Chains A and B, each alone.
Chain A
């Protein structure tokens, strides 16, 4: 007996089958609905039979099934609906009431064209649950290892397409992980060639020298450098490659910096060498200035000694009227020449900072205004003078005569720098100097003279202060102006600063220390005052015979009696002379100096006045209180100096 021969048995078998069976006729109406599907849908056969499947309230999945039924009946096509792509095609429940995962097939039955259609449903819940559990376990392991890895990890198929990317990869590439999946890694590389070689070898199971450095182009267009290593593995005979990337941007940056440092090493050495050379040059320059100063000072001193008998002698000859008018003219000429020589030496001494200075508190406002009045007319109509003196400017410590001369000198320089005319600005300001300055810390007065003239280039500017350096035509200047002012400022405890821009102008700044005491009333000496005749016994000490002789002659002419001594030691013997009224002594002498001798005189004969004659200024530092006269001098100057002693 075959079961098909007994329709009742066949029916019973179909009802009892452990899968869902639905049969539809050519009109798409349900003609058979077995117990399994009745239980899974909760719809009895009595309610289902006679109805189209999409009218049973089984949702949109039933519409798809109905379409497949149409296709099966019309064209004979069989249709598969898998749980993979349709996790819940129909709202089916297991006996326990849980959602049922199911596969569905739709097939035509009967001769062609098919008269009926069979819809068959199988329960795959158990298999699907098992898969889900396995998957979860796998995912948990995967997440534990790969998901939390700080390095980007990519799994790729043999085509080089990214199949999986961990969160670190998403961060590194700047794309969400799902946007990376399915794309070739080479899409994200700047240069795919190096990778291509390694990729071919790893796929072929050959050794690769890892890591391979790659440049990843991130979503924002920036490059990120990574070291890549990769290995091949098989799953169900299908190869995959897992690539691990390591971000090396920091290391690269450090390397690049090091490279950069090496590359610029030579340049930096060059710069440092140049700095050093500049410093050396500055040092050389200042040493040169110092040496020139000493040399100049020494020469000037000797010249002063030489000039003293010349000036003195000529002066006496002139006063005595020893010659005929022609001879008198010759004496006058020689005397003028000697006077010019004296002035030159004085300037040299000024530069050498050895000029005898009568430093006192000076009101700069007065000096500046006097100067402006004086030069205003001589500068010509094309040059405008602007003066700007700070109100309540403290007095500066300076020699007023020398300062006037310095200002005049600067004004003349400024005029010469502005042949086309311009503005001469004289500004006086107070300024404070702190530590770390070439000047001693304290308060200063800054006196600046600016012009809008031709200016100087750096080279000229560097040499401007050197003595006898001049940009002027020969005969138009001595080249000593700035040198003197430099010396003056330095000697006063200040400084001279120059700045200049070709075509814009030059500014000369004198820094002078602020005077502690108030401004003294100006006392000026009248050079034409009649020579005061003197009387009394003078002890004259000088190691230079010629100078002593000329000075002695002047003193005699003035009416003094004289004891001469060629050294301080020699002079000591005469100190006990009760008639002694005055001592006139040279300072720089072998053995005991003039200043030391003067102290001795002051100690032993307090009532005897002492006048020191010197060509040097250091005396000021040694004995500022001692009256003195600078060599060379004329008879009237000597007379005036002696007169003040009384």
Chain B
């Protein structure tokens, strides 16, 4: 599989823009909830395969990871995860709960608060993509996963065909805290092809140009 040909540069840019709009909306929701300035940004988006995704995480993080996991289905189907180091999760919870709770309480709230915060961010992301692409998706409720990384990419049931990982870096800036994490979308190849088509339509509608078509292999 020749990954760079799956989405061309223009399509990647368009997708990055859509994701950024999505997380900005999520930031507005978070701000309403925590009554504090929240800034979310996705500076970088890469398409990699599963093995690459695992090694990127291994390279960058040497502690256990926590993931907020949601499933989406529709024209494009797959999983989406918000991943960050377990050590940062308390910081994230402290940020969204206002920062003056004792440690024990934060630990107790951790799972629920993470789930809800991740839910807001992932919903924002996916919903914006779905909106812009004028397609409806159906998204599950969030679920919390802990692990070293590889297991996040081997969740049952396994995809029918070879899958693609959209790997995004996300920055949280809340209450003077800066936390870096990742948004990972796992899709099978048919979904990827559908996404590519949707992106091309989107670019056409937005700019009036027809993006050059690529042979996606089927």
Contact = CB atoms under 8 A, between A and B. Distances in A.
B109 A75 contact: no
Interface stretch (A82-90, A250-258, A352-360): A82-90
Interface string B101-119: 0111111110011011101
Contacts of A161: 90-91
B139 A77 contact: yes
Interface in A90-132: 103, 105, 107-108, 112-114, 131
Main secondary structure of the interface of B (DSSP, over half): helix
B99 interface: yes
A178 B95 CA distance: 12
Interface in B12-34: 32-33
Interface stretch (A134-142, A411-419, A579-587): A134-142
B141 A113 contact: no
Nearest to B95: A182
A238 interface: yes
A82 B141 CA distance: 12
B112 A181 contact: no
Given A80-B115, A182-B177, A112 B137 contact: yes
B103 to A, nearest CB: 4
Interface residues of B, number: 46
Given A76-B137, A105-B141, A139-B102, A181 B94 contact: yes
A493 B33 CA distance: 98
B115 A82 contact: yes
A114 B138 contact: yes
A570 interface: no
B37 interface: no
A82 B88 CA distance: 20
Interface in A386-418: none
B63 interface: yes
A182 B104 contact: no
Given A112-B138, A181-B99, A182-B99, A84 B87 contact: no
A294 B120 CA distance: 111
Contacts of A158: 63, 87
Nearest to B137: A76
A159 B130 contact: no
Contacts of B70: 78
B127 to A, nearest CB: 4
B112 A83 contact: yes
Contacts, number: 109
Interface in B28-63: 32-33, 63
Interface of A is mostly: mixed
B136 interface: yes
A79 interface: yes
Interface residues of A, number: 40
B104 A114 contact: no
B131 interface: yes
Given A71-B123, A76-B138, A135 B105 contact: yes
Contacts of B162: none
Nearest to B120: A79
Nearest to B30: A85
A181 to B, nearest CB: 6
Given A76-B74, A238-B86, A85 B96 contact: yes
A142 B102 contact: yes
Interface string B124-167: 00111011000011111110000000000000000000000000
18 contacts: A71-B127, A74-B127, A75-B123, A75-B128, A77-B126, A85-B112, A85-B116, A85-B117, A112-B138, A113-B136, A139-B104, A142-B104, A163-B90, A163-B103, A164-B103, A181-B99, A182-B99, A235-B107
Given A77-B127, A85-B109, A182-B95, 15 more contacts: A75-B130, A76-B127, A77-B139, A78-B139, A79-B119, A79-B120, A83-B112, A84-B112, A86-B33, A107-B141, A112-B136, A135-B108, A181-B99, A181-B100, A182-B91
Question: What 4 A-B pairs come out closest when comparing CB atoms?
Answer: A75-B127, A82-B112, A84-B112, A112-B136
